[in-house]
Chain A
């Protein structure tokens, strides 16, 4: 499926197959086409080519209201002149659902979202979090095949956002609905999704479950987009030593770092060539740390510390590995002195190697 506006191709060759009951998150930086994709699924926008299927039915020529979908908008889009009750029942009213049935559905949704005391109020009399709930209530009451969420949490303050995030996830677990959720926040994607579609420049970069996206990012964009702080990436060289691959950071420098890799058979063809090495900040820790499941003594390297950022829950350290700047996450009570050398343990099992030309994951 693709979408173009005049000469601008905003979506290219999108092909996503979402299973019933899945919580799919479309995540990407602004302008990556994720909202356009959602609008096309909703029927508010038309694809330039390709088909959209919902529940096995091609819906390209079917109006939004007949697609059996419900949508929650970033601005909530509550009808300002209607009460909460009317906002929630408006969709059923449009579909001529009998009054008694409307009341029943309203009551159960209001109970589910705990908005019973708000039913008589106007949207202007609600707080941000309450509006958010009502917007969800309006979608839930319809019991559709597919829920579409368009950045529903981005207008909330940080604390409320975390609360609602958990609530949406709990809701999904409870009612087992099929959800497509758009966000630019990779933490929302990681925490809520059963599968994540990372989008960039109108293309799906990777479509996989959160662990796979995090552990095996398909390319450098995904590696740098997911995670906070993001994955460290740096140029390196892959060489063979004693019959196994060794990756060298800052080759030829006095402080070069050589890391032996195990189980990276897929990288065999890159031996003797340049690669991009990726390592997540949590795979670099204080020298005394043992990584779970690791056999033998951990690899410890003395590296110069440039800067230390205590966050309370952990300490973020900017250090240099073979001259390359790298972020590490260490325990909060250790504060290495900037400018000095400090020991760091590396979990080399979780290193990612990327092709420097295609930027794709090698192993």
Chain B
């Protein structure tokens, strides 16, 4: 058994940890509670308080009733926009990253390390630095204010991360497998498809979680390159708060924020186990 006496230092540590946790979770608690309080209640009392009656109608309003930018369909269409951007961009960036990681880790070719270095350099470029180049590119190919444009941006921006993840996973795969397959007559893509991909589940899950969360929560590109009906939900939430600036609707806003956060939360709950496992996969053998 462990030593069960509570030394003063131990009590202090627990106290400190609890305080930090409380501070960290407080905003979430406030938003969750407010999402269940009526407008009047928030106006009469304060932003912080326990709901007197559960105002589930806030969620309905946020989902499909509330007016954003002159249409009154709630955040539902924007959630759909986000899904239409996030799902394809996640799939494309993950697949491309897997192929790129496979190429730089298991196929030696002239300049492979340079290419890998340049691709991962993208991790260190600040987002705002890329805004102008993307504006020019999207304008020139006619994808300004389209979901396709956002898919393109997120696919390409995501490559740095997905390539890094997959490369570091594949580097542990023995090269003899590739050699054997080459002698067997398989080419680059057949080896990837038949031999490497079936081994990739852990790293693909990690990459998908990472990319999905990142792209879903992304705000800057969404608000810069799309307007009105084309916006992803992160950008629409701002529009929503702007539209109701005159009469504060904190209840509905809070509900909208919670709904917008649900998909990433769900993904994490479903795949979180793999996430932790996958990040350390191959690190220790």
Contacts and interface: CB of A to CB of B under 8 A. Distances in A.
Interface of A: 39, 42-44, 63-65, 69-71, 73-75, 77, 79-82, 90-91, 94-95, 138
Given A42-B183, A79-B194, 10 more contacts: A42-B179, A44-B183, A69-B183, A71-B183, A77-B177, A80-B177, A90-B186, A91-B183, A94-B190, A138-B180
Contact of B179 (A73, A79, A82): A73
26 contacts: A39-B179, A42-B179, A43-B183, A64-B179, A64-B182, A65-B183, A65-B184, A71-B179, A71-B180, A71-B183, A73-B176, A73-B179, A73-B180, A74-B176, A77-B176, A79-B181, A79-B195, A80-B177, A81-B195, A81-B199, A90-B186, A90-B194, A94-B184, A94-B185, A95-B185, A138-B184
B8 interface: no
A154 B174 CA distance: 17
B108 to A, nearest CB: 10
Nearest to B196: A81
A276 B132 CA distance: 79
Nearest to A80: B199
A75 B174 contact: yes
Interface string B159-199: 00000000000000010110111111110001000110011
B181 A90 contact: yes
Nearest to A69: B183
B276 to A, nearest CB: 23
Interface in B179-232: 179-186, 190, 194-195, 198-199
A138 B180 CA distance: 10
A95 B184 CA distance: 8
A90 B191 CA distance: 10
Which 3 pairs show the lowest CB-CB distances between chains A and B? A81-B198, A94-B185, A91-B184
A77 to B, nearest CB: 4
A42 B179 CA distance: 9
Contacts of A71: 179-180, 183
A214 to B, nearest CB: 32
B162 to A, nearest CB: 21
Most buried by B among A42, A43, A65, A69: A65
Interface residues of B, number: 16
A43 B184 CA distance: 12
A74 B190 CA distance: 23
Most buried by A among B183, B185, B194: B183
A77 B177 CA distance: 5
Nearest to A71: B183
A96 to B, nearest CB: 9
A291 to B, nearest CB: 47
A79 B199 CA distance: 10
Most buried by B among A39, A42, A69, A73: A73
Contacts of B185: 65, 91, 94-95
B181 A44 contact: no
A79 B177 contact: yes
Contacts of B179: 39, 42, 44, 64, 71, 73, 77
Contacts of B186: 65, 90, 94
A65 B182 contact: yes
B195 A64 contact: no
Contacts of A91: 183-185
A39 B176 CA distance: 11
Contacts of A70: 183
A61 to B, nearest CB: 15
B95 to A, nearest CB: 18
A273 to B, nearest CB: 50
A92 B198 CA distance: 20
A90 B194 CA distance: 9
Nearest to B174: A75
Contact of A44 (B177, B182, B198): B182
B191 to A, nearest CB: 9
Contacts of B181: 79, 90
A138 B184 CA distance: 9
Contacts of A80: 177, 198-199
A294 B16 CA distance: 93
A95 B176 CA distance: 20
A71 B176 CA distance: 10
A42 B199 CA distance: 26
Nearest to A150: B176
A69 B177 CA distance: 16
Contacts of B176: 73-75, 77
A81 B195 CA distance: 7
A94 B185 CA distance: 6
Contacts of A75: 174, 176
Contacts of A95: 185
Given A75-B176, A77-B174, A81-B199, A64 B183 contact: yes
A80 B199 CA distance: 8
B198 A77 contact: no
A77 B195 CA distance: 11
Contacts of B190: 94
Contacts of B198: 80-82
A44 B181 CA distance: 11
A335 B176 CA distance: 49
Contacts of A63: 182
A323 B184 CA distance: 58
A42 B181 CA distance: 12
